[in-house]
């Protein structure tokens, strides 16, 4: 068993993690290890419902310092997640390389793994990661766009591995929605062989961040979002779902929680409905869509059928 952290060091780490969670308002920045004494997703009512309860969760984690808790790793993870999920427009570059993938629409807060091999997408990874002479301010971010090329998410490559054959494996976390305002430039890609045709160029875009329209009743939206979470947990305990175990849900923001629920309810290949939810600007309407999916799944006699 590891020795407990000195009180002064634990206090500093606690404050830094608290900062990464915006004083408990953004629990989705926290990875979900058992050492945080996190209640099971099988019982959604026991999950934090206020920033105060999130802070209490963090305090218990540090007070129960043990071999299963690495507060330094927890801080690195929380900081990386917060940076990916909640960037400010001022903190983003003016343009980003774009990944237009009609078959895989990413929703805010969603994680995904890709194996890139096409020359323009390998170049995208190099541009985003700052590899081999690309821009010095590259920080792993790129624009992951839907099939139309006009709407998507600001996505961050959090882990990557270059393979000997030139491919690159990446693990990504999708952040806020973005809308393309301008195709900034096309980066020509060299042909793989002297007599081969050049591959399509890599698109770089300028963008604006997108949010839902102001809601008419924030309290009602929050209640509906929590109700959807609790009903979904009764239908299928989320502690059995790998994607749900990665981080706490965005429990205190109905808009972000609506996207989190959509991730779990919509298949990856259900691009039409994913795109509809991505572009919708009403939290209430998105939550009503989620509620309807849960109702239909609850009443379906075949458990193997997808919503």
Is pLDDT of 220 > 60? yes
Higher pLDDT, 234 or 182: 182
Within a domain: 306: no
**Average pLDDT score over the chain:** 85
Same domain, yes or no: 248 and 158: no
The string of pLDDT tens digits covering residues 36-80 is 555 566 677 888 899 999 998 888 777 655 545 677 888 899 999
CATH label of the domain that carries residue 184: 2.30.130.40
Q: What is the pLDDT of residue 266?
A: 95
Last residue of a domain, one of 85, 113, 143: 85
For the residues 107-112, what does the mean pLDDT come to? 95
Q: What is the pLDDT of residue 300?
A: 59
The string of pLDDT tens digits covering residues 150-209 is 899 999 999 999 999 999 999 999 999 999 999 999 999 887 777 878 888 999 999 999
Same domain, yes or no: 243 and 270: yes
Structural domain including 240 reads 218-299
Q: What is the pLDDT of residue 245?
A: 57
Is pLDDT of 247 > 50? yes
Q: DSSP for the chain?
A: -PPPPPHHHHHHHHHHHHHHTTTTT-GGGSB--GGGTPPPTT-GGGS--SHHHHHHHHHHHHHT--TT--HHHHHHHHHHHHHHHS--GGGS-S-EEEEE-TT-PPPTT-EEEEEE-SHHHHHHHHHHHT-TT--TT--SEEEEE-TTSSEEEEEEEEEEEE-TTS-EEEEEEEEEEEEEEEEEEEE----SSTTSPPPPPEEEEEEEEE-PPPPS-HHHHHHHHHHHHHHHHHHS-GGG-HHHHSB---TT-HHHHHHHHHHHHS-TT-HHHHHHHHH---HHHHHHHHHHHHHHHHH-S-TTS--
The string of pLDDT tens digits covering residues 128-142 is 998 644 444 568 999
Within a domain: 168: yes
Same domain, yes or no: 26 and 52: yes
Is pLDDT of 281 > 80? yes
Higher pLDDT, 304 or 166: 166
Q: What is the pLDDT of residue 13?
A: 86
Within a domain: 271: yes
Last residue of a domain, one of 33, 65, 85: 85
Within a domain: 304: no
Task: List the single range of 25-29, 243-247, 283-287 with lowest mean pLDDT.
Answer: 243-247
Within a domain: 17: yes
Residue 94's nearest CA partner among 185, 211, 187 is 185
State the residue for tokens 């591959």: 199
Q: DSSP for 106-132?
A: PPTT-EEEEEE-SHHHHHHHHHHHT-T
pTM here is 0.88
Last residue of a domain, one of 210, 243, 277: 210
Q: What is the pLDDT of residue 72?
A: 83
């Amino acid at each position: 068993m590891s020795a407990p952290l000195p009180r002064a060091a634990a206090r500093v780490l606690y404050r830094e993690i608290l900062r990464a969670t915006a004083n408990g308002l953004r629990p989705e920045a926290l990875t979900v290890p058992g050492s945080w004494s996190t209640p099971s997703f099988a019982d959604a009512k026991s999950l934090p419902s206020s920033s105060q309860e999130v802070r209490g969760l963090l305090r218990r984690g540090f007070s129960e310092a043990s071999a299963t808790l690495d507060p330094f790793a927890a801080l690195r993870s929380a900081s990386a997640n917060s940076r990916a999920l909640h960037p400010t427009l001022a903190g983003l570059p003016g343009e980003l390389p774009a990944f237009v993938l009609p078959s895989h629409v990413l929703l805010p807060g969603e994680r995904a793994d890709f194996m890139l091999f096409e020359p323009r997408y390998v170049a995208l990874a190099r541009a985003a990661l700052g590899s081999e002479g690309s821009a010095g301010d590259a920080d792993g971010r790129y624009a992951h766009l839907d099939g139309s090329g006009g709407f998507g998410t600001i996505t961050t490559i959090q882990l990557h591995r270059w393979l000997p054959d030139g491919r690159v494996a990446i693990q990504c976390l999708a952040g806020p929605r973005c809308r393309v305002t301008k195709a900034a430039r096309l980066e020509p890609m060299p042909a793989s062989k002297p007599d081969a045709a050049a591959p399509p160029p890599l698109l770089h875009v300028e963008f604006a961040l997108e949010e839902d329209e102001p809601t008419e009743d924030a309290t009602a939206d929050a209640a509906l979002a929590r109700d959807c979470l609790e009903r979904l947990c009764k239908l299928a305990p989320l502690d059995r779902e790998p994607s749900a175990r990665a981080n706490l849900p965005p429990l205190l923001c109905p808009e972000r929680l609506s996207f989190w629920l959509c991730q779990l309810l919509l298949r990856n290949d259900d691009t039409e409905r994913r795109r509809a939810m991505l572009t919708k600007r009403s939290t209430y309407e998105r939550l009503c869509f989620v509620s309807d999916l849960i109702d239909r799944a609850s009443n379906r006699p075949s458990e193997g059928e997808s919503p």
